[in-house]
Amino acid sequence: MTSVHTDTAPQVDAEDFRDILASTREFVRSVVVPREQEILDSDAIPDDIRQAAKDMGLFGYAIPQEWGGLGLDLTQDVELAMELGYTSLALRSMFGTNNGIAGQVLVGFGTDEQKAQWLERIASGEVVASFALTEPGAGSDPAGLRTKAVRDGDDWVINGEKRFITNAPLANLFVVFARTRPADENGTGIAVFLVPADTPGLQVGAKDRKMGQEGAWTADVAFTDVRVPASALVGGSEDVGYRAAMTSLARGRVHIAALSVGTAQRALDESVAYAATATQGGTAIGEFQLVQAMLADQQTGVMAGRAMVRDAARAWVDGTDRRIAPSATKLFCTEMVGKVADLAVQVHGGSGYMREVAVERIYRDVRLLRLYEGTSEIQRLIVGRGLVKQAQRGH
């Protein structure tokens, strides 16, 4: 039986949420920020930080309480994300797939049996879940994916190739999208399966070498005659897959937008601190009006992004907009943080180009935000198409 979680009922009251937010802020700023260089140099999140995140419930903040999570709704999730964005984005990535794109497929579309089997361990961090949708030639257009699942008796046999899969080298569970039939007038023919990482025939490739977000790992995942039982089919239905992917991604877009705001705030804070103290010819560079203009543009971007994120999260939770607002907000906030990070490097002058200066890392970290969970071009298409459809329906 599929029970659809609607994400409408807040499970954490305002007072408890204030405590969660305060302790997350303290953890990020006092524990993780001082160790950003270590994360960057080792390309890993230190074990004690991973354990602390588990102990704080961060692997399951968006998983409902009945399954062992903190049960934050999206309006609370975005406040947390704005705190998490303040440090190396690898921190959030460590538990991002559990709470977000992978976990939400189970929360929203899993059967009660599937939820009982996986969600508590996902929420505790015992299980790392990865979302495996993208393939060579099927990124922006996942409807074109070619991984196949073929029925064989009571089992499904999966063959195909996925790429750029976040947390794949660490994952215990893959949420895998595969075609069970060609697309037709009834739908895309895409289903979604729960595939434990140790299933024979599943092979995780070498860790990708990326531009930024050191400490967050991606890899290819290959499926060669991977056999899973019927109970691995999410929601017990072949028709759930595409809708589950789109719903999970749309929700994730509001979260990524919030993360962008958090990182933009950090880039701004670094810029203001530098401008107030660094000097040229004995004058603090922050006294120069052209530098002040850069700070003003950064501040304006952060404030606009924050307002938009809160608005979009509210619209998601009350169900008034789960399509245009997530895409418009991701588009604006990820582009905004790109500009804010670029300005932060500019404010720092040559120092901003040097490794070991936070804004240099931020500049590289945030580039990804405009690419994954839908590129900026795809967000524009969703918003534009959505507006025209709405107008046509109105006529």
Point out the residues that are catalytic: 373
* Nearest in space to 74 (alpha carbons), one of 316, 325, 262: 316
Question: Whose Cβ is closer to ligand FAD: residue 88's or residue 130's?
Answer: 130
| 119's tokens | 């969600």
Question: What is the smallest separation between the CB atom of 62 and ligand FAD, expressed in angstroms?
Answer: 16
Site for ligand FAD (CB under 6 A): which residue of 61, 164, 332, 363? 164
* Nearest-angstrom CA–CA distance, 75 and 315: 9
Figure out which of the listed residues 51, 140, 277, 279 binds ligand FAD, where binding follows CB under 6 A: 140
Task: Please tell me whether residue 159 binds ligand FAD under the rule CB under 6 A.
Answer: no
Verify binding: residue 377, ligand FAD, rule CB under 6 A.
Answer: yes
* Binding positions for ligand FAD, 117-136, rule CB under 6 A: 130-134
Provide the minimum distance between the beta carbon of 299 and ligand FAD in the complex, in angstroms, as a whole number.
29
Which residue in the set 56, 159, 371, 386 belongs to the binding site for ligand FAD (CB under 6 A)?
371
* Contact predicate 163/176, CB 8 Å: no
Of the CA atoms within 13 Å of residue 145, those in its CB half-sphere come to 31
Say if CB 224 and CB 203 are below 8 A apart.
Answer: yes
Distance CA 56, CA 100 (A): 17
Q: Give how far the C-alpha of residue 10 lies from the chain's centroid of Cα atoms, to the nearest Å.
A: 21
Give the pair of three-digit tokens for residue 113: 């049996």
Buried b (16+ CB within 10 A) or exposed e, 287-296: eeeebeebbe
Q: Which stretch binds ligand FAD (CB under 6 A): 4-12, 49-57, 160-168, 330-338?
A: 160-168
Please state, in angstroms and rounded to a whole number, the distance separating the CA atoms of residues 144 and 179: 9
Among 169, 48, 68, 171, smallest CA distance to 115 is for 68
Give the one residue of 78, 90, 107, 165 binding ligand FAD; rule: CB under 6 A. 165
Q: Which residue has the tokens 């405009």?
A: 370
Instruction: Output 256 or 347, the one with its CB closest to ligand FAD.
Output: 256
Contact region for ligand FAD (CB under 6 A) — 16-24, 113-121, 365-373, 383-391?
365-373
Burial 155-182 (b: 16+ CB within 10 A, else e): ebbbbbbbbbbbbbbbbbbbbbbbbbbe
Instruction: CB nearer to ligand FAD: give 133 or 317.
Output: 133
Smaller CB separation from ligand FAD, 111 or 134: 134
Pairing of strands 148-152, 202-204: unpaired
Residue among 287 and 377 whose Cβ is closer to ligand FAD = 377
Stretch 189-248 residues interacting with ligand FAD (CB under 6 A): 210, 218
CB-nearest residue to ligand FAD: 139
Q: Which position among 227, 239, 372, 386 is part of the footprint of ligand FAD (CB under 6 A)?
A: 372
Residues binding ligand FAD: number (CB under 6 A): 20
Residues that bind ligand FAD in the complex, under the rule CB under 6 A: 130-134, 139-140, 164-166, 210, 218, 368, 371-373, 375, 377-378, 381
